[in-house]
A = this chain, B = another copy of it.
Amino acid sequence: MSAVRCQISISLDGFAAGPEQSPENPIGIGGMRLHEWALATRAWRSQHGQEGGEDGIDSEIVRRSTEGVGSYVMGRRMFGGGEGEWDLGWRGWWGEEPPFRVPVFVLTHHPREPLVMEGGTTFTFVTDGIESALAQAREAAGGLDVSVAGGASAIRQFLAAGLLDELTLHIAPVLLGSGERLLEDVGDPELVPVEAVGSPLATHVTYRVR
Q: Which residues of A contact B (CB under 8 A)?
A: 12-14, 169, 171, 173-175, 177, 181, 183-184, 186-189, 191-205, 207
Across the interface, do B200 and A193 meet the contact criterion of CB distance under 8 Å? yes
Query: Distance in Å from the Cβ of A190 to the closest Cβ of chain B?
Result: 8
Give the top 6 A-B pairs by smallest Cβ distance, nearest first. Answer: A196-B198, A173-B191, A13-B183, A196-B203, A14-B14, A193-B198
Across the interface, do A203 and B193 meet the contact criterion of CB distance under 8 Å? yes
Residues of B within 8 A of A175 (CB): 183, 186-189, 191
Residues of B within 8 A of A198 (CB): 193, 195-196, 205
Count of identical protomers in the assembly: 2
Between-chain CB contacts (< 8 Å), 11 pairs:
A12-B169, A14-B14, A171-B205, A173-B191, A173-B193, A175-B183, A175-B186, A175-B191, A193-B198, A193-B202, A196-B196
Q: Which residue of B lies closest to A188 (CB)?
A: B175
Contact of A191 among B174, B177, B188 (CB under 8 A): B174
Q: Which residue of B lies closest to A176 (CB)?
A: B188
Contact flag A184-B12 (CB < 8 Å), given A173-B191, A193-B200, A193-B203: no
Interface centre among A14, A197, A203 (most CB of B within 10 A): A203
A14 to B179 CA separation, bound complex (whole angstroms): 14
Across the interface, do B197 and A196 meet the contact criterion of CB distance under 8 Å? yes
